[in-house]
Amino acid sequence: MGTKRKIAIIGAALFQEPAIAAAKEMGLETHVFAWAAGDPGEKTADFFYPISIREKDLILEECRRIGIDGIVSIASDLAMETVNYVAEEMGLPGNTTAATKISTNKHWMRKAFEENGDPSPRSMLVDAKTDFNSIDMEFPLIVKPTDRSGSRGVHKVYDRRKLRDAIIRAREYSFEDKAVVEEFVEGDEYSIEYISFRGQHWFLAATQKITTGAPYFIETGHRQPAPLSEEMLNRVKAISEHALDTLGLENGAAHIELKIDGDRINIIEIGGRMGGDFIGSDLVKLSTGYDFVKGVIKVALGEDPEVPEIRPVAHSGVNFIISQKDVEAYEQFKADHPGIILKEHIDSDLSDIVTDSSNRHGYYIFRYTEI
């Protein structure tokens, strides 16, 4: 028997569990890095290293010592900085440091889109030195941290009186103490999942997004496949693939968020990683049959992800619990659709107010086969 190949996984939280499980199913030895916090991956990994995911040089040193064959993370922009840094330093498949910088910072991303003709909202970078009176954009506006995901620090403002507070709040969430102010574009929200290998891009799924709307835009649910016409889906694919090339994302997963208003498509942002909220880890496989997680691991090992001709085979979705009203909706859903809920968790205490996607009170994932 040969020596097991070794995969490094950055992050040990619940949403990294599918990567750990898939790697083990593939016969790989799993080496997981994260700050010790009692997360599931600390126990399920073959080897766990209590190193913060931001300590990329320490992780690089350990990965060299281990002799890893690939490195991955799913659904985390912050982790991708370390993933791609280690991959580039060790000559492993990944995306360049330059591509990582652009795809994890909303200001640099908007700048790249503008320079390359990718449709996206007009935006402006703001920091501690910005004169608020210099912001000459039409309200309403969206204010976001430059470098966070999961709706953290996002706020919609309708007039200049609220703008200063929204900017301060967004900067507080930002690792670099900066925010972007963007024009608000109308439209229904969707996310598009891709996997890439050596610059070739494969479309996997389109997801319809459901949010609370203003002011915080917390995601409350997702549905696959999204109800898009073939003509619109083809346009979305063309725009998405051009934008992936703009950002230089050549290897691994990509999560593209966009809005569609009539015939107008606007890219909101792109992450060079798998979509969170169970989109990449669960929904893609449930609705198409393709194992997205294993595909991403194959790319990290330098292997073809073997994407078939993707066709929806089922409907899948996830609903999130924000309040007691959502629990009542869950109970009614379970009664009306017995047997289609596949995975669920609901907190016993719903008293905390939900302010972003990181502190929702639970979820339930479902699938039905009529297509």
* pTM listed for this prediction: 0.92
- Which of 63-72, 207-216, 343-352, 361-370 shows the lowest mean pLDDT across its residues? 207-216
Q: How many other CB atoms sit within 10 Å of the CB of residue 255?
A: 25
Whether the predicted pLDDT of 178 surpasses 90? yes
- The pLDDT of residue 271 is 94
The pLDDT tens digits of the residues spanning 246-280 come to 999 999 999 999 999 999 999 999 999 999 999 99
The pLDDT tens digits of the residues spanning 294-316 come to 999 999 999 999 999 998 999 99
- Are the C-beta atoms of residues 358 and 277 closer than 8 Å to each other? no
Whether the predicted pLDDT of 371 surpasses 60? no
- The pLDDT of residue 189 is 95
The pLDDT tens digits of the residues spanning 42-94 come to 999 999 999 999 999 999 999 999 999 999 999 888 899 999 999 999 999 99
Cis peptide before 145 (omega within 30 of 0): no
The pLDDT tens digits of the residues spanning 122-156 come to 999 999 888 878 888 999 999 999 988 767 888 89
Whether the predicted pLDDT of 229 surpasses 90? yes
Averaged pLDDT score across all residues of the chain: 94
The pLDDT tens digits of the residues spanning 239-248 come to 999 999 999 9
Q: Distance between the two ends of the chain, CA-based, in angstroms?
A: 44
Question: In terms of Cα–Cα distance, which of 218, 187, 176, 215 is closest to 121?
Answer: 187
User: pLDDT category, 96, cuts 50, 70, 90?
Assistant: very high
Q: Which helix (H) or strand (E) holds 142?
A: strand 141-145
For 129, the token pair is 């030195």
Cis peptide before 140 (omega within 30 of 0): yes
Whether the predicted pLDDT of 1 surpasses 80? no
Three-state DSSP class for residue 332: helix
- The pLDDT of residue 150 is 63
- The pLDDT of residue 107 is 94
- Which of 82-86, 221-225, 355-359 shows the lowest mean pLDDT across its residues? 355-359
The amino acid occupying position 193 is: E
